[in-house]
Amino acid sequence: MAQRTEAQTDNKSDINVTDNYDVDVGRVENVGSFTKNPDAVDDNILLAQGHAPVMRRSFDLLGTIGLGFSITNSWVSYASCFGQSLLYGGALATVFGLIVACAVQWLIILGLAEQASAFPSSGGQYHFTYILAPKRYRRFAAFVVGIISVLGWWVITCSGISNNVQCIIGMVLFVNPDYQPQNWHSYLLYIGLILITLIPIFTIPQKHLGKWTQACLAISVLGFVIVTITILAMSDGYNHPSFITTFDGTSGWPDGVAWVMSIGNAMYAFASMDAVIHVAEEMHHPSKAIPRAMNLTMIIGLLTSVPFILAMMFVIKDLDAVRAAHLPSLEVFHQATGSKSAALGLQSLLVVIFYTCMPSQWITCGRLTWAFSRDRGLPYSNYWNHISPSLGFPVRTTLLSVGFCIIYGLLYMASSQAFNSIITTAVLGVNISYAVPQAITLIHRRENKLPPRPFKLGKVGGYLCNAWTPLWVTTIGIFICFPNAIPVTAGSMNYVCVVLGCMMLILVGLWFTVRRYFDGPAIDYEMLGLQSSSVEAPGLWHEALFKRLVRFNTLARVWDPVSRH
């Protein structure tokens, strides 16, 4: 059995259990109760990974897909950034850069989904890293990945709010070209959107959150159909297919460099694919549901973003005007429809969809930060490790995420370029968190690190994904640091390197603050089948775990559900 350290025993804090929860926290279910409670196996799998089940399992598969896609929203996300790809390489880089970005990101996601299937936990990547890393390095490696994940998600959430701000400001400029937007205007709008997007998660009961995310999915897909059909139907002409096969960049970079940078830009359309992992403890059968949700989210993203951007490219009449526009998507809508009212209506629909993605981002940020504080990864973890008994979710860490976004938004007052550079860094940071556990799995042999699991890539596919992820993240990380255009001006300067340096300073400072008591989860490696180099053969690992749970009833005597953290 995994032993807890003295520091873990001495530092105790209450873990609040949601009302009417079906399983007694910290108690191994007997054989009969497994038939009465279908979630008992999942709860005990979580116990074996060092955590007590304290969240209501309210997400079904469709609700989980809704959560994942409402955040990713590939076609809407790309609508917010395709203008940069037009600068890199014209329509060719914009369309085919998106397709390549989907392919490379999918390989990354497949490797991550396999690990989530093996170790379902709201902690996600840092949790995988702790389990997979050598004992000597696991604490520091898990801490680094955890901090990168938390900061990355916080800043990506800021980017979602920022996109909506830019949409609204762009619409105002479209109606009134004489308006001169000030940074403080953007910041006030930014704060207002934060407050408005918090309403659903504080008013919708926890058990109905899955219905909310399903509705968000439906709104996005319906919006895609409306926008795509409208611009094609109202356009009085279409570009020749040769327009899409012409590489026409104006960034000043050589074609090869510009092509890779366009792929990096398009990866934003498939960012945050780990969202569903961070609600693993709130879904039924997460070992199976998480990989399905992640792959279906990618499929929906591909089937919406590619037709949308193809339609956009076919209806463009003045490419230079789109490149120069404050809001490229609105300019394309106007060129396609020939009507300001119709263009504003289509852009307003994008604003609504941007709004629907924000509550899901607060959900993910709150859960991830709570999971990390549960393992004492943050200062004052005893305070942050809290589930509201009345609302049934981690309110404190959700509000901590909100506080960060409000403070971070002050960069609007200083430099919008610095603000956008940090967003780019966040996308890179989240991908780094995908790469680290996969690199560890690759280096230390997959067959020794991963137990049998419902979603298995196989030997060839597994090694391919685990090798590709760190290779691609390293490569694209270099190109992300390049300025957007040359010659470099104050407006095109890229501050990603500066931001990365600041993040490293924050990381080191936090490590010296929490290293005395950050020990990670109390993993029972024997129950996970990771004690030896060969894992038990029969079926899925949770079936083997079920047999062990029946045999090792001593877990109920040594587990202290109150003092774990």
Query: What does the pLDDT read at residue 448?
Result: 64
The tokens of 186 are what? 């953007």
Query: What does the pLDDT read at residue 450?
Result: 80
Q: Is residue 387 part of a domain?
A: no
Quickly count: other Cβ atoms within 10 Å of residue 560's Cβ: 13
Q: What domain range includes position 364?
A: 65-118+140-272+288-374+393-432+458-511
Q: Is residue 106 part of a domain?
A: yes
* Cβ partners under 8 Å of residue 137, min gap 6: none
Q: Is residue 442 part of a domain?
A: no
Query: What does the pLDDT read at residue 534?
Result: 33
CA distance 334 to 325: 11
Query: What does the pLDDT read at residue 451?
Result: 79
Cβ 416 vs Cβ 183: under 8 Å:
yes
Spell 381-420 as b/e; 16+ CB within 10 A means b. Answer: beebbbbeeeebbbbbbbebbbebbeebbebbeeeeeebb
The structural domain count of the chain equals: 1
Query: What does the pLDDT read at residue 495?
Result: 77
Query: What does the pLDDT read at residue 554?
Result: 38
Query: What does the pLDDT read at residue 491?
Result: 67
Q: Is residue 124 part of a domain?
A: no
Bond preceding residue 241 cis, omega within 30 of 0: no
Helix (H, G, I), strand (E, B) or coil at 349: helix
Q: Is residue 196 part of a domain?
A: yes
Query: What does the pLDDT read at residue 53?
Result: 79
Half-sphere exposure of 247 (CA within 13 A, CB side): 15
Say which residue the tokens 């053969």 belong to. 537
Helix axes 183-197, 340-374, angle to 10 degrees: 70
Planar angle of CA 122, 124, 125, nearest 5 degrees: 165
Quickly count: other Cβ atoms within 10 Å of residue 227's Cβ: 25
CA distance 560 to 556: 8
Say which residue the tokens 């959700």 belong to. 398
Helix axes 255-266, 458-480, angle to 10 degrees: 110
Q: What are phi and psi of 390, to 5 degrees?
A: -85, -40
* Cβ partners under 8 Å of residue 182, min gap 6: none
Report DSSP state, residue 520: -
Q: Is residue 204 part of a domain?
A: yes
Q: Is residue 549 part of a domain?
A: no
Residue 258: give its domain's CATH number: 1.20.1740.10
Q: What are phi and psi of 14, to 5 degrees?
A: -75, 140
Quickly count: other Cβ atoms within 10 Å of residue 241's Cβ: 10
* Each residue's pLDDT expressed in tens, for the chain with a length of 565 residues: 444 443 343 443 333 333 333 333 333 344 344 445 666 777 777 877 777 778 888 899 999 999 999 999 999 999 999 999 999 999 999 999 999 999 999 999 999 999 999 899 999 999 999 999 988 899 999 999 999 999 999 988 988 898 899 899 999 999 999 999 888 899 999 999 999 999 999 999 988 999 999 999 999 999 999 999 999 999 999 999 999 988 988 988 999 999 999 999 999 999 889 999 999 999 988 999 999 999 999 999 999 999 999 999 999 999 999 999 989 999 999 999 999 999 999 999 999 999 999 999 999 999 999 999 999 999 999 999 999 999 999 999 999 999 999 998 887 776 666 666 666 777 788 899 999 999 999 888 766 678 788 899 988 999 999 999 999 999 998 998 888 888 887 767 777 777 778 878 888 888 988 888 888 887 777 666 664 333 333 344 444 444 444 444 334 333 333 333 3
Query: What does the pLDDT read at residue 550?
Result: 43
Cα 94 to the center of its chain, rounded Å: 23
Q: Is residue 426 part of a domain?
A: yes
Quickly count: other Cβ atoms within 10 Å of residue 356's Cβ: 24
* E strand or H helix that includes residue 286: helix 286-315
Helix (H, G, I), strand (E, B) or coil at 283: strand
CA distance 149 to 111: 17
pTM: 0.85
Report DSSP state, residue 490: T
Say which residue the tokens 């690190």 belong to. 449
Quickly count: other Cβ atoms within 10 Å of residue 438's Cβ: 28
